[in-house]
Amino acid sequence: MINSSDLYDGVVTRPYKGWSDVRVSVDLTKVQNAMTGNPFFPSPSPSMEVFGEALSAYTLQLAKAGSRDINAIAAKNARRAALIALSVQLGNSVTDTANGNVEALVSTALPLRKKRQNIILKPPSNLRITNGINPRELDLKVDSVKGALSFGFEYTQDPPTDQSVWVKTICTTSRCTIKNLEPGKKYWFRTFVTGSRGQQIMGDTLLSPFVQ
């Protein structure tokens, strides 16, 4: 079971300047609803009365600004700045009160910083090989792999032996075109992906059709 502490590290963020006007209205309304009567925070600063008044003033002025009147837009911007300032103040207040209690912070609906999740690199799979648009080419594709920085393909002529030389090609996506192959020949391909720490995971091995 995933807990709040598995997803968030207990830091209230301040992304408001990058939010659209509508998002400010919608998301901070959620904050007001979540904080009203919240047992974790009986005395937040600002109070929900003050916060609610600022939110109502902003929402009202946001509707008026839809007329594109310069004065209405200026008033809306002023109300937005005031509401954001109170949101930052509220974030500081609940952080102090929560004292590291991530469950309490999640209950505020304020924006929280997510923990960086460790990605377990999976092997590339579902290798497909088809003849390319041009002669002497083969198009390769595997399914995308979360966390992979690059995709690798190694190939050698059929049949492989202990003396076979495997040619390695690195691609930045899960698609790759291998060129300058010998017409009328088949090739064995094997795949791998490389992760952010340089780890490599081997995947499918497949025999190609005859090169055209």
Q: What is the pLDDT of residues 163-196, one digit of tens each?
A: 999 999 999 999 999 999 999 999 999 999 999 8
pTM, full prediction: 0.57
**What is the pLDDT at residue 47?**
97
Percent over 70 (pLDDT), the chain: 96
What's the Cα-to-Cα distance from 156 to each of 51, 119, 172, rounded to whole Å?
68, 31, 21
Give the strands of the sheet with 150-157, arranged side by side.
167-171, 150-157, 187-194, 200-207
Which residue did the predictor score with more confidence, 76 or 198? 76
Q: What is the pLDDT of residues 48-71, one digit of tens each?
A: 999 999 999 999 999 999 888 999
Say if residue 4's pLDDT is above 60: no
**What is the pLDDT at residue 2?**
43
Q: Which domains does the chain have, with CATH numbers?
A: 4-114 (no CATH), 128-207 (2.60.40.10)
Three-state secondary structure string covering 79-135: HHHHHHHHHHHHHHHHHHHHCCCHHHHHCCCCCEEECCCCCCCCCCCCCEEEECCCC
